[in-house]
Structure 1
């Protein structure tokens, strides 16, 4: 076995990727938010949330490599580094970034060829969805909400997947912002002005409530609200920048857009 042998995954996407590559035996600890693959929750100890981690429990596992994601996990990474642990915090935000992440993680564990083949497989799936979407008669305007209070929107990979699936994200300028606080809608009535045909909700850690969204002041005039086009995308399918978003996540978005196009054809 080459590369790290005892890996702790602080988020779900490295866990899902390593299982997909057949390298799950290297994983000794996972995030408590991991749901994909389901078997990981049964096989691996849960040692972290997203913004916090059980540093002592992680150290007991004697990891030789820890994988995390984004600036939000910077404090966890710093603490582990101070204890002599090697840490990789990825910060990929785009569809291409996810595919590259899979290849890089595969290379780190000596499975670059398998990782490349897997990434190519995922790309072919996206290409197929894009080809089907290109035949739709209309492209709906889509508002994606990752949190409700305050409203947050514009994750780059989600905006890209919406376009691949045949829609147009109504806040493309937000996709350039990597930090959640930079994607807060200071004026929620801007959604009303941009008049989305479809509203997608994926509230991290809690259930999306279409009725609550529809009841916001002035939102009854939005085409999506008027037509009942408010849909939940389960957060494990779309809010992690990993394989789930490029498979089940984009698939769910494509199905919603396809159904909208049939109804509005």
Structure 2
């Protein structure tokens, strides 16, 4: 059974610290010298589980969707960018391991002031960044050997991906659509995580005229001329082909003629963890077929 998120109440800085300091350790809880880690970022949780050190985790954020056991077995501390200080501290962690985008900043400051070691993990989407993230987390959780093995396997995956990518003769234009809200199309532009996975798959980011995740005008969508639309397949980010190509500007694109909509799991696609070479390979196959 999935545990419900820990409720958050508005507390003053002083009352929050005093309340959490007074919380007793649960019967059988580890001593203070033992590691009790809260992971804030789905990629962190995925890597810790891949290294076999999930026993150190006492809590995870709601983006920790892989493996599925994480949200079932561990307490939840809220969304990675909207962490609850009270929820985190109630777990009596020794460490908070958080991606760079975790927050809000005031929450992390409160957690650190309570004596929790707050360690940031890079969200670098480069090949070296993905492998380096695995090795850094491995050192943090005491699984350096396992991390080196996993990182080497990921590096081999990237090398194989490059060989496939170099064989692509005509690169397709792909538009990553983050959301469709009231007819506004939010896309992944240059320097975004979507841009990185599109390039790994041997395609061209059709929204490279903007930077980051931004709405694109109707004129911009038509000018982007994507051959395929890429979206996440879950929650509010999902959409059907009728919804996507029912938008007038998108209906005027080459993708609409073939109704080319590719939907993939969000963490798999944009997590930039151990499965990234596989995700990029799957996207490449969706675009170019097995020969791509």
TM-score band, normalised by shorter chain: 0.7 to 0.9
Report the Cα distance in structure 1 between the residues aligned to 2:218 and 2:100, rounded to whole angstroms.
26
Change (3 A) 1:261 1:94: same
Equivalent position to 1:202, from 213, 219, 232: 232
Shift of 1:230: 1.3
Structure-1 residue corresponding to 2:286:
256
Does residue 158 (structure 1) correspond to residue 158 (structure 2)? The answer is: no
Aligned residues: 253
CA contact (8 A) 1:233 1:252 kept: no
Does residue 69 (structure 1) correspond to residue 104 (structure 2)? The answer is: no
Structure-2 residue corresponding to 1:114:
146
Structure-1 residue corresponding to 2:249:
218
Report the Cα distance in structure 2 between the residues aligned to 1:19 and 1:107, rounded to whole angstroms.
14
Structure-1 residue corresponding to 2:219:
189
Deviations 1:35-67 (A, max 9, x none): 201122232112222232332232122111101
Instruction: Normalising by structure 2, report the TM-score.
Output: 0.77
Shift of 1:210: 2.5
Structure-1 residue corresponding to 2:206:
170
The aligned runs of 1:1-265 (5 Å cut-off) are: 5-73=35-103, 74-95=105-126, 96-149=128-181, 150=184, 151-154=186-189, 156-172=192-208, 174=210, 177=211, 182-202=212-232, 205-206=235-236, 207-244=238-275, 246-259=276-289
CA contact (8 A) 2:84 2:107 kept: no
Shift of 1:226: 1.1
CA RMSD of aligned residues (A): 2.5
CA contact (8 A) 1:147 1:153 kept: no
CA contact (8 A) 1:93 1:156 kept: no
Change (3 A) 1:78 1:208: farther
Relative to structure 2, which stretch is displaced further, 117-126 or 65-74? 65-74
Change (3 A) 1:133 1:62: same
Change (3 A) 1:107 1:257: same
Report the Cα distance in structure 2 between the residues aligned to 1:114 and 1:4, rounded to whole angstroms.
21
CA contact (8 A) 1:204 1:239 kept: no
CA contact (8 A) 1:4 1:65 kept: no
Change (3 A) 1:53 1:163: closer
Asked which structure has the greater CA Rg, the reply is 2
Q: Which has the higher helix share?
A: 1
Instruction: Normalising by structure 1, report the TM-score.
Output: 0.84
Question: SS at the partner of 2:58?
Answer: strand
Report the Cα distance in structure 2 between the residues aligned to 1:148 and 1:133, rounded to whole angstroms.
30
* Structure 1: runs of 5+ lacking an equivalent: none
CA contact (8 A) 1:28 1:63 kept: yes
